[in-house]
Amino acid sequence: MVGWRGSSGGGPPSGDPVSSSQTIRLGKVQPQAPGHRTVFCSDRDANALAKFKGNSVSTTKYDIFTFLPKGLFEQFRRVANLYFLMISILSCTPISPVSPITNVLPLTLVLLVSLIKEAWEDWKRLQNDAAVNNSTVEVFQDQRWVFTPWKKLQVGDIIKVNQDGFFPADLLFLGSTNPDGVCYIETANLDGETNLKIRKALEKTWDYVTPEKISEFKGEVQCEQPNNSLYTFTGNLIIDKQTLPLSPNQLLLRGCSLRNTEYIVGVVIFTGHETKVMMNSMKIPSKRSTLEKKLDKLILALFTTLFSMCLLGAIGSGVFINRKYYYLRFDNSEKQFDPDSRFVVAILTLFTLITLYSPIIPISLYVSIEMVKFIQCSQFINNDLHMYHAESNTPASARTSNLNEELGQVEYIFSDKTGTLTRNLMEFFKCSIGGEVYGTGVTEVEMGTAQRIGAKVDGQKDSKLPREKGFNFDDPRIMRGAWRNEPNSEACKEFFRCLAICHTVLPEGDESPEKIRYQAASPDESALVTAAKNFGFFFYKRSPTTIYVRESHVEKMGKIQDVAYEILNVLEFNSTRKRQSVVCRYPDGRLVLYCKGADTVIYERLADGDNNLKRATRDHLEQFGAAGLRTLCLAYRNLSPDVYENWNEKYIQAKSALRDREKKLDEIAELIEKELTLIGCTAIEDKLQEGVPDCIETLSRAGIKIWVLTGDKMETAINIAYACKLINNSMKQFIISSETDAIREIEDKGDQVELARFTKEMVKTELQRCYEEAQKFLQSSSGQKLALVIDGKCLMYALDPSLRVLLLNLSLNCSAVVCCRVSPLQKAQVTSLVKKGVNRITLSIGDGANDVSMIQAAHVGVGISGQEGMQAVMASDFSIAQFRFLTDLLLVHGRWSYHRICKVITYFFYKNLTFTLTQFWFTFQTGFSGQRFYDDWFQSLFNVLFTALPVVMLGLFDKDVNGVLSKKYPELYKEGIRNMFFRWRVVATWAFFSIVQSLVFYYFVVTSTKKAVNSDGMTLGLWDVSTMSFTCVIVTVNLRLLMACNTINRWHQISVGGSILAWFIFIFIYSGFILPKEQENIYFVIYDLMSTGYFYVAIILVPIAALFLDFLYLGAQRWFFPYDYQIVQEIHRHEPDSGRIGLLQIGNNGLTPDEARSYAVMQLPGQQSRHTGFAFDSPGYESFFASQAGVYVPQKAWDVARRASMRHRGASNTPRKN
């Protein structure tokens, strides 16, 4: 399906919350080029004329030519870096009162470190690309197979891909070693699904698998131009003067892998960046956190403040300069002090003051923030035991440190379904046979319903027998041959045979129940065949025409016999038929058609009569559906030889048709799939990942809205939403679907233009109707929550520029949104719609390459690791092993990071403004001349040495409430969504106290030193006063940091005490030596000061006076206007802090790494396995998604124990949590 076409917004939608004039730009879908491409098979010279693109791919951000300009552009996107560049240039001019090195060197170091970091990250991408491009594949050249790197493949090459190999490009499937030209592919690297998909070559090309035959192959492929539509492919293969139609069934996409087939042979159709997976990918974005962008605004505000201060000083300088001050010796020798050129004096003074006041914006701010973020990621997030998955030995991983605080402000989560919310693990759970329900299990949906109404439900009792994967069923009435004693034993026998025969499963391994493995087109089919085996009907072998079943207890208890069923016809599943049938012949000649499918299509084809069975089974289907289970109906029909032969002739004719083959086969199937006898139905559970419903409920309480974007069909998507507690029965549901009778009628006519027009009008009408209803519900007093469900076809039109704002406004009114049957690009477009339309922080989470575009489009991308595919992880900003770990990632680490970074920024702002304002007040007493109040080294080391470490400790260890309370009170997270701690009001409060404290520092010290004398009886001079004032500033701002901390640990104490001590050590050494002329005034200053009693009185009283107003404000704020976290602090203030993060650190006394890791896992909070499921989804549903070609050797989870630091503490003999 091709997504929304066009990249600009601006239609006339009628939404209120988002202005209809607002333009929302989404990712552009590349339209298909006109015409078609012609590919000559195995003829490079002929194909060279077309100049097709090569097969080399690149995912890097830079190359050797663009690294420096683009890298510097990325750095100077930061307003502060531009400012520092300007200051560095000014400091190199004669008008600068400070040394150039104090500004140039720090900026150079910051840029160098940042560029090295960017280069390292891109180098890793380059290595990954090289590994992919240099992978080899066998290409047919000179009558033989030659190993060739992927990057040297060309369109038209005939290649051979061996079992377990990956397809290096989009291929036209010619033939395989399997009978009937079939191959099985796995799409785990694309969508995380491990179930196999079936592809079938054209019958005409089946034989072209050996070099001898391939050398005879001279074909020409005429197909569509490269496009990003994953579901469609049209073309023709011209061979031996015959034109054979091609379909997606003959296309093998790059990124898929070959399974259960020795090898396949194919022709390269699309290469490199023209493959469908690459055309669905997006360029790697350069993500900056929203807080960092707001920091740019703060920097601009500071610069405005700086310019205002400098402009005031420049005007004052122009006014002050006058020859009447003859003792200042103004003359014409220096332009800056020429009384006859007041305007020039003002201009030069302006630039002088800019360099003098430049510390108001500290370059160390970005360095400190980067350091804090990096340590938060590498030490806290990566090593958090609560986000460590023991089964896959996978910890959380922060792949970037730029977005930590973004995790604390997420308002919208966009989630994939398969492999993200679910395990993609189907289990046979219940069944109905002959009107009787079997199975004793209770699903999580049933337990949740019971909890809501206050009823008690006993969960499924654990059987002592070990459970097999795919089979979670227990009922003594039909297990171990007991079904023979049931009144409906004949129905049971047909039921089990239908499960064992009606499928396309391939057996692998030994022909024993314990060791055999089933390779199925979907987990559903595997679960059904596994169930048949457990019921005593063991499918153990198949050939192209026969299925072998080992049946137990059929004739009498305990008897086992092998039965061969001849498979005459297989009527395959497709999304229109919604059923699968097999015609088989028993050894005694009996002809039977077995059919399984959706209840709606099976019931339409049942024979008349037996209404009680139909009614009872229908009730059971509703019961299973309410329990969140995926249901299938089973039926059969006995066939007479004459009826079958007549039908088979028509079937063979339809199968050999060149035009509309699929449609004709469907019509022929209708002739025999009728007058069926109902056997019963199955109920399969698709297990949710552990803790998903609780996680979603917790995140909802935190004010986070969750959208599910899935490629599954609508029924399954709705049921997954129910099972996850995303949707419940109390919600008003708006469903916009393209599966309507009116649309089907137009589809049958084949008029694509009319279909597009009609569908768009229908979508517009439905959106307007739903939006109007939503407004009525919201205005009513019922308080009923709303949910929106929309499918991919309707979404394609809803994302049109004229409708997308209406879609957005409707979605924002809903508590839950489910988008089903969506393509990867549509996922990214929906994410961009919310991200750009409402300017809220978005997070996307997925596990497959079909989620890469969505992950890259969101503010924060999270990949699910520990599964088969690593595509999503490699494109993500953070990776976790389970969806439930989002609770810790957002509510704990995200919230803490947001709080900490906000405090770091506002504290930096406060301390530098305080320091600069003391210099500013001094300017009023120097005739606005630009005279320094502080020594150059005082100014240079203020941020680097004397106040650097405490603010880093604040950013690392400050904690308002512990992790346990953060999850117990998820509502605390709303403070981050509302951005409570980085508002202009907060900044203004810090600025107010900064002004007050700077006035205290300057005027208290200056006034109190007017009559102060040193030990020699001399009055204190400028450098004595400035050193005294600077000492008070250092002591006060460090103490103020302690007042800002919610928790004070030894690191805060050491850093604050160490910073104050570092100042005294420095000044003792610095003023103890005679230095060059520029610094000679500092000589012996501190010794003179400390020889007076005034110094000791001032160093105590001045900080107290400066902080007194802060102390009163903080007390009043906490008492009368507390934040939510302060209320929680008061509730739990007498409780010990037991919520420390358990880090992956273990003791080494007598424990092996495995034992230590097991101990660490035992410290995790216990989670019980959750059971739930979903409505019928077809076994053959084609979900081959892709969005990016990538890593073809999945990275294995690293050994956590190996990287854990081993510590020894005293005589402790047990591991400890740190």
Instruction: Name the CA radius of gyration of the chain, rounded.
Output: 37
Among 827, 843, 897, smallest CA distance to 699 is for: 843
Other residues' Cβ atoms within 10 Å of the Cβ of residue 1017: 6
Burial of 1029 (0-12, 13-18, 19+ CB in 10 A): buried
Q: Is 999 helix (H, G, I), strand (E, B) or coil?
A: helix
Q: In terms of DSSP H, where are the helices of 196-257?
A: 211-214
How far, in Å, are 195, 319, 528, 566, 847 from residue 501 at the CA level?
19, 101, 10, 10, 33
Among 713, 715, 734, smallest CA distance to 723 is for: 715
Q: 238 and 258 in contact (C-beta within 8 Å)?
A: no
- Kindly give the interhelix angle for 895-923 and 290-320, rounded to the nearest 10 degrees: 0
Q: For residue 1044, which amino acid is it?
A: A
H/E element, 138: strand 136-141
Q: In terms of DSSP H, where are the helices of 3-66?
A: 44-48
Residue 586 in tokens:
């028993």
Q: For residue 231, which amino acid is it?
A: Y
Q: How far apart are CA 540 and CA 552, in angstroms?
A: 13
Q: 389 and 902 in contact (C-beta within 8 Å)?
A: no
Residue 929 in tokens:
């001349």
Q: Is 1141 helix (H, G, I), strand (E, B) or coil?
A: coil
Burial of 1187 (0-12, 13-18, 19+ CB in 10 A): buried
Q: Write the CB contacts of 586 (distance below 8 Å, at least 6 apart in sequence).
A: 563, 565, 592
Residue 255 in tokens:
């990124």
Which of 157, 191, 416, 851 does the annotation list as catalytic?
A: 416
How far, in Å, are 481, 691, 766, 1160 from residue 386 at the CA level?
45, 13, 44, 10
Which of 487-491's residues contact partners 24+ apart within 8 Å by CB, and which partners? 487/434, 488/433, 488/434, 488/435, 488/436, 491/433, 491/434, 491/679, 491/680
Other residues' Cβ atoms within 10 Å of the Cβ of residue 968: 15
Q: 1172 and 112 in contact (C-beta within 8 Å)?
A: no
Q: How far apart are CA 1068 and CA 1075, in angstroms?
A: 13
CA angle 702, 707, 712 (to 5 degrees): 145
Q: How far apart are CA 144 and CA 262, in angstroms?
A: 18
DSSP-derived pairing of the beta strands 860-864 and 878-880: parallel
Please report where in the chains the tokens 């006076």 appear, as a residue: 1105
Residue 879 in tokens:
């990776």
Residue 503 DSSP symbol: S
Burial of 721 (0-12, 13-18, 19+ CB in 10 A): buried
Q: How far apart are CA 1098 and CA 1096, in angstroms?
A: 5
Residue 169 DSSP symbol: S
Backbone angles phi, psi at 352, to 5 degrees: -65, -45
Residue 520 in tokens:
């199925």
Q: Is 416 a catalytic residue?
A: yes
Secondary structure, 3-state, 551-616: EECCCCCCCEEEEEEEEEEEECCCCCCCEEEEEEECCCCCEEEEEEECHHHHHHCECCCCHHHHHH
Q: 339 and 320 in contact (C-beta within 8 Å)?
A: no
Catalytic residues: 416
